A and B are shown apart, each in its own frame.
Chain A
């Protein structure tokens, strides 16, 4: 018989136990070793929950990022004047020095492609392409006066997320988890989903930048297990995972007792959370416990990756204490046939976006969950048409004015905020710059954008740089 087998695990744990004092030193181990009945269900270390600067209504954010930039002129910002002057160029004095990606500034005006009507008690105007949103219009605040500094996709998406157009700064989800920590011990604090063809801004959009990298967004895949490597290798099972965790933790604990480095305690805790993730991730993704009515509300087919499924999963994430969820829906870049573009994208997003608001509300979660819908910029009142590119009746990128909506989490429903001029070209009233949006999102979470800072390269950085004002007019 193999003499080694005389030594049992029991022996190992009994005789090679760890000095209690050293364990206390590590601090972090209270959770991972003691497993007290009062179960620490909250994360520890850098992700431990932190109090906000002031009481905020929102505990979590779901960002519905309409990548590619939806046309506000076909959805929210009704400009009959454009129909009246269709085919005529906008006067140069209106255009000013604005640069465009594809069109020449003297391109002719294109009229709205859809009909608009007023909805809800608030009487907010929405296009016929948003029938479902119309049903929750009194729960959302529509901001028609958004403005950005960037007119190309990648820089503008990075700017919307990070407050800076070049990669390398922390994203808003990272700032928020840095500021507030996480309420979930079993799932990542900041989750990113994408249901389309790839994101122009790439991983810079959920990067932690110079913040500690634990604040990086964790991307959920559409196929297979959502989190990379959460599945054990083929041929393994749950007990193997538990056995492996046991032996690894036991030897690590002993190493902690000998080497005394508290990082080992963190490592042990990380393995425990990894183990929990292996259970919590499948549970999260299992939509069998959602009622057929709920699935129908979102328009979600459980086994099919879609924007609707992502919205439903986002709600489940927030229910489980996840702090920040971003869902990217790409495909709004309507350089040609903007009418068709809007129709197609509304078909895949309108029902689920509205359902998310309605579902959160009926579950009593809307007040503590901020939902933000919008793209990286808007689209031009002028037409984009080019024989050589085979484009017609499209709209180019327009940074000067676009529309977003927010709901829940401290936002006043039924508000329409800001106005553009009669051509939808410039903001006429109550401009909301990207930095203002960011300041407002942080404010809803109880974070002061001027105090949420991180010292790097000798200076205190902020999401909003030296800008940003909370948009009081949309607060509850």
Chain B
């Protein structure tokens, strides 16, 4: 008997022969995982790795004749199938998988493959890539156990497995569980008492509705979304500077509180700016993909890190919406899933065509403030003469001198502009505005129209614009000073001949950061690229440099200006305008273009407005008014203030970003252009709309998309039960864990999309009102052995709480929790030295007042040194999309709850609160239990705690423990407060205090 026959004979499936096999192993559940895990790496979708020309992931290829003339699979004939011969071979040169791969098939796996070939080797599409249909509902058992559809599916499976569900949890436990799940906080003793006293049959459902309507709901659920969105308040990498993107965090909280349907929630985040009626909120929502990290290290290539941010965007979109692991396809066609290398970049192309500004959020409030500042500026100007009005003589003298020097500049409008990188647009007033990507080295070539007179001087104005970082005039946004630029060299060419520049002067010269000494316009004509001119300190206002040519350029000759900007960070000019003059004595006098134009005119032919302009310029230049003018400048600077947030902005049509496939995923190896498209194995994008972010957004939540709804309901399921129906929340591909309840998953997905119109609150209500959810979580001994992971749901969930819920619950129990919503991140107390390890050893300046005790979602999140307590309890760093948090159980957690200064503070407040509950120990302990565990301690627990209390009282009285140090304050009742603080601290450290049960 051949090895194969022995193998097959060993399976009960196969009595005799092959042909009589009506039904082989289940392809999706049993066969594909083997092929995918053991074979696809070399015989899968990746064209570069189809060894021997064999591809096993699609039937046509697997059944086809191979290079060798054999066939891997001959359906119904394992004896003739090379696949089976190879996996059962004992010859090390023939056996598959080859020994060097260190991958081995188990005997069971070989049997399954052989039986599958014998049964006809039928391929079926992967379940998750087929649109979910509403499955038939299992019959309910007639004991009334099932309350809704969830229960019917769960019960049917339990029945199959011969298991019985657990009884309903007691009401206090249930009240605590649903509070923790829906609002992330335990019930207050009063809320608990009210619920326990409510004997109406729908008391629980009404409780659920109250919780769903609470603003605390959005705070709880936004945190989970922010894990996916990799939200943080700093930029990451070495410098890890602070960023302002909390408006996005607040947008998420608001959207969830308003139960924004998940399809809209998706569309606004991916492409809110592209909606025809985009609101301010819709633009803020695009922050989801601005949560990528920014490397501000000196010397980096900003485009490389932008590319890495794009990789992160594709990965996050894949994991959070599609349950697809895209990372493999960045470098090569996915070895397991049908995602090709080109698919990957087509997906990237859909997201790629955006600029990434820091956006000042418009609001009525801001408009009012701006108008107010403008009014104050006008008033300040009007008031100047009352301080010092000047004298007619002084003015005449000043005016004569400045008029004499003022140049009658001819403003030019370039006939052509080219740029090595930022996109340049020539505007009607002759100014040139840059936008889009920047690099460390930039060259602009600006061709000016032929002048009517000879040219001896050139003025380069650098102008502010709201679209630029800090309103410009430069494009510096990292490492250097925001809104600055660095002009390294300026070159003038006429008729293909370099024209020497004799002199450069500037209206203002800044000291660029990390520089020694001032910059100057003269530095831009010295032939040294490492010196140059910048304007740090004058952001938001115009400056100018004037260059005098060494020889005149004859009239009628087009001039070309070459502007080179190069530093260890990107530093091009953002907005500029060139003017020419025939005057060889031109110099920068600090006037704006309008002021200089007015000064050129004789005083008596100036208009009223021009006279006013000149008068102000005169006053501003008077040393007597230096102080008040400085105040005016400060007011002007404050015009730029406002809340900013990071958003996406679609690029103009004439500067579409071209996305390239990158060989091996490497930034330095761009290959052919890839057009935006959906992955080929999924439904296509709508044909009648542009293939852009908006198309992607709508495609993600299209009812035709087989993944998004399933992935979403599965993630929510995991939040309640501790485990997804598909365990691998982030991966629904071939390598994913098969669903424990496939029909339930599809039913939930279809119900969520079509019956609930993507309402998250309706989904949550469905889950928490199910009998399945309401079961007691006690782990019976037999069940612990049978189903330790509670996959089958014969009991309710029992899971350790998330970091934020632990902290918030403790603060709430102690009555300390602030309910203030929104705003910039706060810095609650944490042990010294947590942030010292980050670059530059930044200080953690603890917030004051109620900001010490805000909900944890508002805690300032520093990527390179996250809040210690959150890290200890498995909180995210915000460095990458986190679909599933770990749930660890470590000694550092014990130390945190016992000794972290913040929890010591909580213990003091909690002890004091319990003392307020009554004068006797029993009442106080009862109150403590209710605050912390949502139940009174039972007799035994009470006994243990009372004994502990008595022992500590004794030691405090004996002076062995220092009450004043423990409680942080002296007073007649310090010892008693200390005793209660210690009892509270002990109770906070009970396992039950940090679990949902």
Contacts and interface: CB of A to CB of B under 8 A. Distances in A.
A224 B833 contact: yes
A89 to B, nearest CB: 15
B896 interface: yes
B618 interface: no
Interface string B762-791: 000000000000000111110011001000
Among A99, A202, A231, A267, chain B packs the most CB atoms within 10 A around the CB of: A202
Contact of A167 (B877, B940, B963, B992): B877
Contacts of A168: 879-880
Contacts of B778: 258-260
A266 B893 CA distance: 12
B613 interface: no
B261 to A, nearest CB: 28
A12 B966 contact: no
A9 B947 CA distance: 6
A457 B899 contact: no
Given A11-B943, A12-B940, A457 B965 contact: no
Interface string A378-409: 00000000111110000011000000000000
A207 B863 CA distance: 12
B989 A271 contact: yes
A152 B295 contact: yes
B597 interface: no
Contact of A235 (B788, B800, B978): B978
Nearest to A264: B991
Given A12-B944, A202-B839, A227 B895 contact: yes
B982 interface: yes
A102 B891 contact: no
A293 interface: no
Contacts of A274: 891-892, 894-895, 898
B240 A16 contact: no
Interface in A229-270: 229-237, 239-241, 243-244, 247-248, 250-252, 254-255, 258-264, 266-268, 270
Contacts of A239: 955, 960
A255 B516 contact: no
Given A261-B798, A264-B991, A234 B962 contact: yes
B170 to A, nearest CB: 12
B990 A252 contact: yes
Interface in B263-302: 293, 295, 297-301
A459 B731 CA distance: 10
Contacts of A22: 781
Given A100-B299, A200-B839, 19 more contacts: A7-B939, A9-B948, A15-B940, A152-B299, A198-B838, A213-B874, A216-B871, A222-B833, A235-B962, A236-B966, A240-B982, A244-B989, A255-B991, A259-B798, A263-B995, A267-B889, A387-B530, A458-B336, A458-B728
A389 B297 contact: no
B484 interface: no
Given A218-B892, A235-B964, A277-B895, A198 B943 contact: no
B615 interface: no
A101 interface: yes
A194 B837 contact: yes
Interface stretch (B699-707, B733-741, B812-820): B733-741
A40 interface: no
A299 interface: no
Among B237, B300, B517, B735, chain A packs the most CB atoms within 10 A around the CB of: B237
Given A12-B940, A229-B899, A166 B308 contact: yes
Interface string B222-240: 0000000000000011101
Contacts of B237: 154-155, 200, 202
A198 B943 CA distance: 49
14 contacts: A4-B943, A25-B784, A151-B299, A168-B879, A198-B838, A204-B864, A224-B833, A228-B834, A254-B941, A259-B798, A268-B991, A271-B989, A389-B516, A457-B731
Contact of B944 (A9, A213, A267): A9
Contacts of B985: 244
Contact of A251 (B568, B891, B941): B941
B863 A202 contact: yes
B868 interface: yes
Secondary structure type dominating chain B contacts? loop
B986 interface: yes
A77 to B, nearest CB: 22
A277 B800 CA distance: 23
B515 A390 contact: yes
Contacts of A198: 836-842
A155 B781 CA distance: 49
A228 B868 contact: yes
Interface in A205-234: 207, 212-214, 216, 218-219, 221-224, 227-234
A451 interface: yes
Contact of A458 (B731, B785, B899): B731
A2 interface: yes
Given A168-B879, A213-B874, A102 B298 contact: yes
B203 interface: no
Contacts of A224: 832-833
Contacts of B986: 244, 247-248
A262 B785 CA distance: 11
A213 B733 CA distance: 25
A277 B997 CA distance: 29
Interface string B930-964: 00000000011111111110111001000011111
A7 B785 CA distance: 36
A203 interface: yes
A8 interface: yes
Contacts of B298: 101-102
Nearest to A212: B886
Interface in B131-166: none
A450 interface: yes
A92 interface: no
A266 B985 CA distance: 20
Contacts of B886: 212-213
Contacts of B904: 233
Given A197-B841, A199-B837, A223-B833, A244 B898 contact: yes
A48 interface: no
A236 B837 contact: no
A457 B531 CA distance: 49
Contact of A199 (B327, B785, B839): B839
A446 interface: no
A198 B176 CA distance: 43
Nearest to A223: B833
A475 interface: no
A128 to B, nearest CB: 30
Contact of A388 (B236, B238, B515): B515
Contact of A248 (B514, B922, B989): B989
A441 to B, nearest CB: 20
Given A261-B798, A271-B989, A229 B900 contact: yes
A152 to B, nearest CB: 5
Contacts of B920: 2
B888 interface: yes
Contacts of B567: 388
A102 B901 CA distance: 44
A153 interface: yes
Contacts of B899: 229-233
Contacts of A221: 832-833, 836
Contacts of B961: 235-237, 240
A240 B295 contact: no
Contacts of A450: 102
Given A214-B890, A230-B895, A274-B898, A248 B865 contact: no
Contacts of B788: 262
Contact of A212 (B837, B888, B900): B888
A201 interface: yes
Interface string B861-879: 0011110100110100101
A252 B991 contact: yes
